[in-house]
C-alpha cells in the first residue's frame, strides 16, 4: 500500500471537530444532529439552511479515505489481470462507499489501441466505470476510463424481433425488397453492405438494418408495405438516440435511411455521425493504407458517413457535421490497402467530389443575399477545374462508355457545377425576383455556366435511358437537384437578359421531355413518392 511504501500517512490528531452547523454556532447553542447528518433539529423545524463547515480534520480524513479507496480499486484490477482477462466475472463490485469517491464520467474508449493482455476491458455486471491501464501519456484523457463497448461482432439480435419476425411483412416480401435494394439502389452509393451479405445474414446481425433495407426497397414498389416498414424503422432508429449498444450495422442502416428518406434525412444522418464518433471510426484514417481489416472497415464506413452527411446538408445550406480531417487531403491512399475492391474506387471518387463541394460552401457560405465580391470571382473557375479533375479521375475507373456509374457520376458533376455557378446569381431579394440587373464584371460567363449546368442536368434525365430506369430509386439528393435545375431554367426562360445564354427551343424541348419522363415514372411508383408531386408541379408550370 502507499502507507507501507512511502511511510506513515496517518493524519495528525486534531482533538477539535466541528459538529455544529453554522446557524447553531452563530447562536452559540447546542446543535442536535440526527445521526451526524444534516439538517439539525432546529434548522429542520425552522426551515433554515443547515450546513457544517469542514474542519481540517474532516478534510484530511476524506483525503485519506479517497486514497484508500483508489488503492483498493487498483488491487482489484491487479488481481483480475493476474487471473487473465477472460475471467471477467472474477472482479468484485465496488461498494457504494467506494464508488462515492469516484465521480469520473464514463466515456468511449479507443477500441483500436486496446491490448487485451494489459487492459481491464470489462467490469462485472453492475459496474459502470473501469480503468484502461494501456492508456499512455499521449492519449486523450478520456482514454483512461472505459465503459463496456459493443461491436458488430459482439452484438447479435434475435431475428424474431425484427419486422419479419413480428409479422409486419412476410419473408417473401422482405426478400423482394432486399433484391430491389441490392440490385438497383446499392450501386448508387458505392456499396454500403458487405459483399457477401444476404437477407438472412443481415437479419441475424441487425434488426435496424433489416428495417432500413425493407423501407427503402419498398419505397417505389409497395405503398402498404412501405408504410409498415417506415413506421417500424423510425421507431427503432429513435431508440438508438440514447443507446450504448451501437454497431457498424446501425450506422449503415441510418445512412441508408438518410440517402433515400428525404423527410427524416437530417435527423438520421445526425444520429449516424454521432454513433460514428462513439465507435471511433475516425481513429483509423491516419493509418491509411490499412494493413488490418478492422481498420479498413472503420475508415470505409467513415467515408460513407462523410458522403451521406454532405448529401443531406450542403444542398440545404447547412454545414456538414463531419470534419474535414487533414488526412482526407489524399483519400486515394485508402485504395492502396490490400482489402480494397472496385467499389472502393467509386467511393473515393465521391469523397473527392464532396470535398470540393465542401470547399465551395466554406468559401461562399450560406447567405444567398450577399453578392460575390470581385476577389472571389476567380475562385469559381478554380473550383470548376477541381470538379473536372474529379470527373477525369472517376472516368478512368471504367473505360467502357455508357456504364451506369459513369452516367450517374456525370449527373453528379452537373449538379455540383450547378450549385457552384448558381453563386453568380446571388444578391439582394430584388435580384431574386428579377435577374435583369447583372453584377460584377466577368460574371456573365459564370451565369452562362450555371444555366448550361442546369440544362445538362435536365438533359441527363430527359434523354439518358439508364438514368430514367433508375430514376425512382436514386437517392433523394438527385431529385432535389433536378427540381432546382428545372426551376432555374424556367425562371431564366421568362427573363430575356439571362435567356440569351441558351437556345430557347432547346430548353423548352428538354423541359417538355422531362415532364413526359416524370409522368411515365409516376405511373409505376406509389403516389407517396416525392417524384409524383414533382411531376404534377412541373406539368402545371409547363402548361
Q: Per-residue pLDDT tens for 476-513?
A: 899 889 988 888 888 887 765 666 667 888 888 898 89
Whether 347 is in a domain gets the answer no
435 vs 494: CA distance, rounded Å: 10
pLDDT higher at 300 or 49? 300
**Residue 400 banded pLDDT, cuts 50, 70, 90:** low
Q: Are residues 85 and 217 in the same domain?
A: no
User: Is the separation of the CB atoms in 146 and 243 below 8 Å?
Assistant: no
Average pLDDT over residues 423-450: 65
**Residue 122 banded pLDDT, cuts 50, 70, 90:** very low
Q: Are residues 225 and 371 in the same domain?
A: no
| DSSP SS3 for 127 | coil
Q: Which domain holds residue 140?
A: 2-18+54-146
- The number of folded domains in the chain is 3
pLDDT at 292 over 60: yes
Q: Are residues 378 and 448 in the same domain?
A: yes
DSSP 417-475: HHHHHGGGG---HHHHH-TTS--STT-HHHHHHHHHHHHHHHHHHHH-HHHHHTGGGS-
pLDDT at 132 over 90: no
131 forms bridges with which residues in the sheet?
145
Task: Write down the pLDDT at residue 409.
Answer: 92
Task: Write down the pLDDT at residue 274.
Answer: 92
Poorest-confidence range of 147-161, 287-301, 345-359, 371-385?
147-161
pLDDT at 317 over 80: yes
Poorest-confidence range of 228-232, 348-352, 366-370?
366-370
251 vs 470: CA distance, rounded Å: 25
Poorest-confidence range of 59-68, 75-84, 126-135?
126-135
Poorest-confidence range of 64-73, 145-154, 361-370?
145-154
pLDDT mean across residues, the chain: 77
Task: Write down the pLDDT at residue 139.
Answer: 46
pLDDT higher at 145 or 36? 36
Whether 31 is in a domain gets the answer no
Q: Are residues 101 and 167 in the same domain?
A: no
Poorest-confidence range of 130-139, 210-219, 354-363?
130-139
Whether 139 is in a domain gets the answer yes
Sign of CA dihedral 291, 296, 302, 304: positive
pLDDT higher at 427 or 84? 427
Whether 64 is in a domain gets the answer yes
Average pLDDT over residues 455-482: 90
Task: Write down the pLDDT at residue 530.
Answer: 76
Task: Write down the pLDDT at residue 248.
Answer: 93
**Residue 206 banded pLDDT, cuts 50, 70, 90:** very high
pLDDT at 383 over 90: yes
146 forms bridges with which residues in the sheet?
130
Q: What is the dihedral of CA 351, 355, 358, 364, to 10 degrees?
A: -150
**Residue 115 banded pLDDT, cuts 50, 70, 90:** very low
**Residue 428 banded pLDDT, cuts 50, 70, 90:** very low
pLDDT at 8 over 80: no
542 vs 520: CA distance, rounded Å: 16
Using the 3D structure, point to which of 279, 297, 331 is the last residue of a domain. 279
Whether 90 is in a domain gets the answer yes
Task: Write down the pLDDT at residue 369.
Answer: 78
pLDDT higher at 298 or 137? 298
**Residue 333 banded pLDDT, cuts 50, 70, 90:** confident
Q: Are residues 142 and 188 in the same domain?
A: no
Task: Write down the pLDDT at residue 223.
Answer: 82
Give me the residue label for grid cell 459493443: 150
Give percent above pLDDT 70 in the chain.
73
Q: Are residues 382 and 514 in the same domain?
A: yes
Sign of CA dihedral 190, 194, 199, 204: negative
Give percent above pLDDT 90 in the chain.
25
Whether 409 is in a domain gets the answer yes
Task: Write down the pLDDT at residue 259.
Answer: 95
Task: Write down the pLDDT at residue 440.
Answer: 52
Using the 3D structure, point to which of 262, 279, 296 is the last residue of a domain. 279
Whether 325 is in a domain gets the answer no
Poorest-confidence range of 18-32, 85-99, 312-326, 339-353?
85-99
Q: Are residues 195 and 74 in the same domain?
A: no
Helix axes 404-421, 476-493, angle to 10 degrees: 50
Q: Are residues 120 and 234 in the same domain?
A: no
Q: Are residues 539 and 400 in the same domain?
A: yes
pLDDT digits (tens, 9 = 90+) for 218-275: 988 888 889 999 999 999 999 998 888 889 999 999 999 999 998 899 999 999 999 9
Whether 475 is in a domain gets the answer yes
**Residue 176 banded pLDDT, cuts 50, 70, 90:** very high
Task: Write down the pLDDT at residue 287.
Answer: 79
E strand or H helix at 145: strand 145-146
Poorest-confidence range of 21-30, 194-203, 213-222, 303-312?
21-30
How many other CB atoms are found less than 10 A from the CB of residue 82? 9
pLDDT digits (tens, 9 = 90+) for 54-77: 665 666 666 777 777 787 888 777
Using the 3D structure, point to which of 279, 297, 314 is the last residue of a domain. 279
Q: Are residues 104 and 184 in the same domain?
A: no
Q: Are residues 120 and 165 in the same domain?
A: no
Q: Are residues 202 and 133 in the same domain?
A: no
Amino acid at each position: 500500500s502507499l502507507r507501507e511504501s512511502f511511510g506513515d500517512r496517518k493524519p495528525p490528531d486534531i482533538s477539535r471537530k466541528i459538529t455544529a452547523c453554522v446557524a447553531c454556532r452563530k447562536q452559540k447553542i447546542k446543535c442536535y444532529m440526527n445521526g451526524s447528518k444534516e439538517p439539525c433539529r432546529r434548522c429542520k423545524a425552522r426551515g433554515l439552511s443547515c450546513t457544517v463547515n469542514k474542519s481540517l480534520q474532516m478534510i484530511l480524513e476524506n483525503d485519506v479515505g479517497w486514497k484508500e479507496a483508489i488503492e483498493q480499486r487498483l488491487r482489484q484490477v491487479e488481481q483480475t489481470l493476474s487471473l487473465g482477462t477472460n475471467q471477467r466475472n472474477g472482479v468484485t463490485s465496488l461498494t457504494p462507499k467506494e464508488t462515492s469517491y469516484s465521480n469520473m464520467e464514463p466515456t468511449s474508449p479507443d477500441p483500436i489501441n486496446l491490448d487485451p493482455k494489459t487492459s481491464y476491458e470489462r467490469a462485472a455486471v453492475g459496474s459502470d466505470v473501469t480503468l484502461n491501464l494501456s492508456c499512455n501519456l499521449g492519449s486523450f484523457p478520456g482514454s483512461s476510463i472505459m465503459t463496456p463497448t459493443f461491436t458488430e461482432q459482439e452484438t447479435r439480435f434475435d431475428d424474431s424481433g425484427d419486422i419479419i419476425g413480428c409479422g409486419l411483412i412476410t419473408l417473401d416480401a422482405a426478400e423482394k425488397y432486399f433484391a430491389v435494394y441490392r440490385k438497383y439502389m446499392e450501386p448508387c452509393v458505392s456499396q454500403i453492405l458487405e459483399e457477401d451479405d444476404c437477407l438472412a445474414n443481415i437479419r441475424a446481425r441487425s434488426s435496424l438494418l433489416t428495417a432500413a433495407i425493407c423501407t427503402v426497397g419498398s419505397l417505389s414498389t409497395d405503398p402498404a408495405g412501405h408504410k409498415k416498414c417506415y413506421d417500424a424503422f423510425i421507431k427503432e432508429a429513435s431508440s438508438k438516440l440514447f443507446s450504448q449498444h451501437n454497431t457498424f450495422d446501425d450506422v449503415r442502416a441510418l445512412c441508408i435511411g438518410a440517402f433515400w428518406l428525404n423527410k427524416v434525412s437530417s435527423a438520421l444522418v445526425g444520429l449516424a455521425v454521432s454513433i460514428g464518433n462513439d465507435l471511433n471510426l475516425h481513429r483509423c484514417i491516419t493509418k491509411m493504407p490499412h494493413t488490418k481489416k478492422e481498420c479498413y472497415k472503420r475508415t470505409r464506413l467513415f467515408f460513407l458517413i462523410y458522403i451521406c452527411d454532405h448529401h443531406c446538408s450542403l444542398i440545404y445550406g447547412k454545414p456538414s457535421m463531419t470534419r474535414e480531417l487533414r488526412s482526407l487531403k489524399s483519400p486515394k491512399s485508402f485504395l492502396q490497402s490490400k482489402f480494397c475492391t472496385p467499389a472502393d474506387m467509386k467511393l473515393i471518387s465521391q469523397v473527392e467530389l464532396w470535398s470540393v463541394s465542401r470547399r465551395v460552401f466554406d468559401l461562399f457560405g450560406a447567405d444567398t443575399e450577399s453578392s460575390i465580391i470581385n476577389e472571389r470571382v476567380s475562385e469559381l473557375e478554380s473550383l470548376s477545374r477541381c470538379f473536372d479533375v474529379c470527373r477525369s479521375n472517376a472516368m478512368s475507373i471504367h473505360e467502357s462508355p455508357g456504364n451506369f456509374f459513369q452516367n450517374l457520376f456525370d449527373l453528379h458533376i452537373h449538379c455540383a457545377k450547378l450549385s457552384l455557378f448558381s453563386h453568380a446569381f446571388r444578391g439582394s431579394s430584388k435580384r431574386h425576383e428579377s435577374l435583369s440587373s447583372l453584377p460584377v464584371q466577368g460574371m456573365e460567363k459564370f451565369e452562362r455556366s450555371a444555366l448550361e449546368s442546369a440544362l445538362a442536368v435536365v438533359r441527363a434525365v430527359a434523354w439518358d435511358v439508364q438514368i430514367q430506369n433508375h430514376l425512382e430509386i436514386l437517392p433523394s439528393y438527385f431529385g432535389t437537384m433536378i427540381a432546382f435545375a428545372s426551376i432555374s431554367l424556367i425562371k431564366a426562360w421568362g427573363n430575356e437578359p439571362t435567356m440569351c445564354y441558351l437556345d430557347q427551343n432547346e430548353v423548352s424541348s428538354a423541359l417538355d421531355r422531362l415532364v413526359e419522363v416524370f409522368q411515365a415514372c409516376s405511373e409505376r411508383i406509389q403516389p407517396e413518392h416525392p417524384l409524383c408531386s414533382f411531376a404534377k408541379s412541373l406539368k402545371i408550370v409547363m402548361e
